[in-house]
Amino acid sequence: MNTPLLQVRNLSVVYRTFEGVLRAVNGIDLDLEAGRTLGLVGESGAGKTTTALSVMRLVPTPPGEIVSGSATFEGRDLMTLPEREMMRIRGNRISMIFQDPMTSLNPVLPVGLQISEALEAHQKLGKAEAARKAGQMLEKVQIPAQRLQEYPHEFSGGMRQRVVIAMALACNPRLIIADEPTTALDVTIQIQVLELMKELRNEFGTSMIMITHDLGVVGEVCDRVAVMYAGEIVEDGDIAQIFDQPMHPYTVGLFKCIPNIEEPASTIHPIRGMMPDPLVPMPGCCFEPRCPEATARCATERPGGALVDGRRIRCHLYADGKRAFAHGRETVSHA
Amino acid sequence: MIRYILKRIALLIPILLGVSILIFGVIRLAPGDPAEVMLGPTAEREDIELLREKLGLNRPIVVQYGIFLKNALQGDLGRSIKTNNPVTEELLQRFPATITLAFSSIVLALLVGFPLGMIAALKQNTVWDALSSFLALAGFSIPNFWAGLMLMLLFSIVVPILPSSGYGSWKHMVLPTVVLAIQTMAVIARMTRSSVLEIIRQDYVRTARAKGIANKLVLFRHIVRNALIPVVTIAGLYFGHSLGGVVITETIFSIPGIGRLLVDAIRSQDYPVVQGGILVFALCVGVVNLVVDVLYAFLDPRIKAQYR
């Protein structure tokens, strides 16, 4: 196993609101090796974006606050780094692609400038040199370099997202965090953008965290997947393993939600109920109220992470090892 | 862009025409008669009638307007009933004082109001925010004439460093400019605060921060320019408002500008001067609106794209 590029440990983020303390991320662990792509999956409000923003240290403060945890990137803990150092990492070593290309570009600045300003900041390039490089980046995302001087409103949604990708890749970062990069796009454009991202990731050897609620996207681009629910990572493992045999009841439920074209619509099984209110602390497992396999223990005791055959699962069913054997797994140990 | 500006200038013509009709009609609806005012309460009926005839006031109002319009198009706005001087000449003489006052006050309001609102937004919910909000609220609530008197008292009598009234040097302009700027400044500060608060929550500002560029760049390149758009609108609107304030301010500080000329003319029902003065104000407002719209184009390329 390679040394991980990014290692997140026990990260917790809260938002202090008028109604109380909203626990957005609850002690999560994440591992990402160099050159790999990790999918962070979960429904809206699970804490995926907050996780991404806290790795970038861009959680809006106040009301947000990173209350505990570390994120070790290239050997340094991003959570304790001085802001000056952090600015050197943002957009340079780690960049981010945001969800909505219609709003993530500044409407009053030409796209060229928006790409080249990161180059000017991190690679100490002069204006002309940075503009030339920005043009090259545009070409990389299949937009003619002559369009550098144009403004965001002169581009379509798919093109704008490609501009955002060019921006993120400009300084050749080690890690790209893509926060639902295709959600706001048309289905046909989604595929183009995903293909482009895959291509560029391979060309530049960049690692990636792909945040999405679309298991199809995960299957398309990721090596590992972490399933997030109510601020916790409930299952985390190799993509083939999890797609073959989801283990956590939530993951199982997620896969059952995907409609199958060969079956009648009535066989879709939505997960009953809603995600718990993040303002109310839960003593037990966060999925217990909706879990078809919940026991009395689940309501009172928070499950620890169990390591089952290389994947981490937060569920009492697997903590004691019984269930793992029932599924034919042999190595069971506590993380 | 140039075509757009020319089009807008052409549009000023119907606007001024409309204003001239309005003011021509309204002023004649007011009770009283310039001939009566000029000759005083003891004048004989016949003298008044004679004067009315001489001034053309006994003709039908439409004919009067026709004559006025024909002369106005040749740059002749008539003669003052009171002084018999050509109105155009009087206006031209007094225009510099008024425009200097209005312009410098709007510049001062922007120079103080914009940073004040900016600080309030960037330090939201701190003591700086509270202080800036208090200043803005106070500025908006204080009446012009009272602020004028208080500043005069403070800087001309208690600490006599500025002249209390008159016109001639830059020192004479300081107090009137400040008085006229106070309300506009307060509005601009409030507007800037809410505008900046909205902009800093925009996705593209987060994108800019995610690029790791200096905070100064995020502020001036990404936030300020977007925040300026609504502020420019307000500043433009308040320029018209300032022209109204000019009338009061010029009177308080005895500045020989169009505002004071207008007040005197209205008192003595000096029709030609009132008409001319208001037309000049309307022209100023029209030109400022045009300038604001052109500024938009420089601030926001999406608007520029629509100017064809």
Digit-coded pLDDT (tens) for A168-200: 888 889 999 999 888 888 888 888 888 888 888
What pLDDT is stored for residue A335 in this prediction?
37
Across the range A43-70, mean pLDDT stands at: 88
Q: Which of A108, A117, A127, A150 is most worth mutating to test chain B (most B CB atoms within 10 A of its CB)?
A: A108
- d(C-alpha A130, C-alpha A171), whole Å: 10
Cα–Cα separations (whole angstroms), residue A246 to A29, A47, A56, A295? 19, 21, 30, 19
A106/B302 touch (CB, cutoff 8 Å), yes or no: no
> How large a percentage of chain B has pLDDT more than 90?
35
- d(C-alpha A7, C-alpha A2), whole Å: 12
What pLDDT is stored for residue A175 in this prediction?
92
Chain A nearest CA to B234, separation (Å): 20
- d(C-alpha A159, C-alpha B261), whole Å: 60
Q: With beta carbons less than 8 A apart as the criterion, state whether A204 and A137 touch.
A: no
Give residue B36's pLDDT band: very low, low, confident or very high (50, 70, 90).
Answer: confident
Q: Is pLDDT at A282 greater than 90 in this prediction?
A: no
- d(C-alpha A37, C-alpha A32), whole Å: 7
- The DSSP secondary-structure symbol of A302 reads -
Q: DSSP letters of A305-327?
A: EEEETTEEEE-HHHHTSHHHHHT
Give residue-wise pLDDT tens across range B252-272: 888 899 999 998 898 888 888
Q: Rounded to the nearest 5°, which phi and psi values hold at A105?
A: -110, 140
CB < 8 Å to A117, chain B: 208, 211, 213, 217, 221
Q: How many residues does chain A have?
A: 335
Chain A nearest CA to B115, separation (Å): 21
What pLDDT is stored for residue B61 in this prediction?
86
- d(C-alpha B298, C-alpha A21), whole Å: 44
A103/B202 touch (CB, cutoff 8 Å), yes or no: yes
3-state DSSP assignment of residue B292: helix
B305/A103 touch (CB, cutoff 8 Å), yes or no: no
Q: Is pLDDT at A128 greater than 70 in this prediction?
A: yes
Interface residue B216 vs chain A (CB under 8 A): no
Chain A nearest CA to B230, separation (Å): 14
What pLDDT is stored for residue A260 in this prediction?
74
B301/A106 touch (CB, cutoff 8 Å), yes or no: no
Among chain A residues, CA nearest to B123: A62
B204/A95 touch (CB, cutoff 8 Å), yes or no: no
ipTM of the predicted structure?
Answer: 0.83
Q: With beta carbons less than 8 A apart as the criterion, state whether B236 and B291 touch.
A: yes
3-state DSSP assignment of residue B219: helix
Q: Is pLDDT at A320 greater than 70 in this prediction?
A: no
Q: With beta carbons less than 8 A apart as the criterion, state whether A218 and A254 touch.
A: no
Residue type, A265: A
Across the range B62-78, mean pLDDT stands at: 88
Interface residue B195 vs chain A (CB under 8 A): no
Token output for A238: 């190799």
Provide CB contacts within 8 A for B65, sequence distance 6+: B21, B24
Cα–Cα separations (whole angstroms), residue A214 to A40, A142, A187, A300, B151? 10, 25, 12, 31, 66
CA A41 to chain centre: 7
Least confident residue range of A4-13, A126-135, A293-302 = A293-302
* Residue B157, Cβ density class (10 Å: 0-12 exposed, 13-18 middle, ≥19 buried): exposed
B300/A167 touch (CB, cutoff 8 Å), yes or no: no
Q: With beta carbons less than 8 A apart as the criterion, state whether A68 and A27 touch.
A: yes
Q: How far apart are the first and last CA of chain A?
A: 17
- d(C-alpha A23, C-alpha A12), whole Å: 8
Across the range B175-191, mean pLDDT stands at: 92
Least confident residue range of A128-137, B100-109, B218-227, B237-246 = B237-246
- d(C-alpha B153, C-alpha B161), whole Å: 11
Q: Is pLDDT at A304 greater than 50 in this prediction?
A: yes
Q: Which of B126, B211, B226, B228 is most worth mutating to test chain A (most A CB atoms within 10 A of its CB)?
A: B211
Token output for A200: 């560029």
Q: Nearest to residue B263, comparing CAs of B148, B150, B94, B104?
A: B94
Across the range B277-306, mean pLDDT stands at: 88
What pLDDT is stored for residue A2 in this prediction?
59
* Residue A43, Cβ density class (10 Å: 0-12 exposed, 13-18 middle, ≥19 buried): middle
Q: Rounded to the nearest 5°, which phi and psi values hold at A171?
A: -95, 15
Q: Measured on CA atoms in the order B162, B168, B169, B175, is the torsion positive or negative? A: positive
Q: Is pLDDT at B73 greater than 70 in this prediction?
A: yes
> How large a percentage of chain A has pLDDT more than 70?
93
What pLDDT is stored for residue A325 in this prediction?
42
What pLDDT is stored for residue A323 in this prediction?
57
What pLDDT is stored for residue B223 in this prediction?
93
Q: Is pLDDT at A262 greater than 90 in this prediction?
A: no
Q: Is pLDDT at B118 greater than 60 in this prediction?
A: yes
Could you identify the residue written with the tokens 């396999």? A293
What pLDDT is stored for residue A332 in this prediction?
41
Token output for B180: 């006229």
| Nearest-CB residue to B210 (from A96, A100, A110) | A96
Across the range B2-17, mean pLDDT stands at: 88
Average pLDDT, chain A: 85
3-state DSSP assignment of residue A139: helix
Chain A nearest CA to B190, separation (Å): 22
What pLDDT is stored for residue A327 in this prediction?
45
CB < 8 Å to B300, chain A: 107-108
A117/B217 touch (CB, cutoff 8 Å), yes or no: yes
Among chain A residues, CA nearest to B302: A153
Cα–Cα separations (whole angstroms), residue A66 to A31, A61, B75, B297? 19, 9, 71, 42
Give residue A330's pLDDT band: very low, low, confident or very high (50, 70, 90).
Answer: very low
Q: Is pLDDT at B45 greater than 50 in this prediction?
A: yes
A121/B299 touch (CB, cutoff 8 Å), yes or no: no
Q: How far apart are the first and last CA of chain B?
A: 6
CB < 8 Å to A127, chain B: none
- d(C-alpha B135, C-alpha A163), whole Å: 43
Q: Is pLDDT at A3 greater than 80 in this prediction?
A: no
- DSSP H helical ranges for chain B: 2-29, 34-39, 45-55, 61-73, 87-122, 127-141, 144-152, 170-200, 203-210, 215-217, 225-252, 258-267, 271-299, 301-304
Q: Is pLDDT at B113 greater than 90 in this prediction?
A: yes
Chain A nearest CA to B207, separation (Å): 6
Least confident residue range of A329-333, B62-66, B104-108, B143-147 = A329-333
What pLDDT is stored for residue A321 in this prediction?
60
Provide CB contacts within 8 A for B124, sequence distance 6+: B197
- d(C-alpha A295, C-alpha A248), whole Å: 14
Least confident residue range of A212-226, A258-272, A279-293, B186-200 = A258-272
Give residue B194's pLDDT band: very low, low, confident or very high (50, 70, 90).
Answer: very high
Among chain B residues, CA nearest to A173: B211
Interface residue B207 vs chain A (CB under 8 A): yes
CB < 8 Å to B211, chain A: 90-91, 95, 117-118, 121, 167
Pairwise pLDDT comparison (A62 vs A30), residue with the higher score: A30
| Nearest-CB residue to A108 (from B206, B217, B225) | B225
Cis peptide before B163 (omega within 30 of 0): no
CB < 8 Å to B217, chain A: 117, 121
B301/A153 touch (CB, cutoff 8 Å), yes or no: yes
A153/B299 touch (CB, cutoff 8 Å), yes or no: no
CB < 8 Å to B306, chain A: none
- d(C-alpha A331, C-alpha B186), whole Å: 70
Chain B nearest CA to A108, separation (Å): 5
Chain A nearest CA to B93, separation (Å): 42
Across the range B153-171, mean pLDDT stands at: 87
Across the range B219-231, mean pLDDT stands at: 91
Q: Nearest to residue B147, comparing CAs of B104, B91, B93, B105?
A: B105
Chain B nearest CA to A60, separation (Å): 9
Interface residue B126 vs chain A (CB under 8 A): no
Across the range B69-84, mean pLDDT stands at: 86
Provide CB contacts within 8 A for A187, sequence distance 6+: none
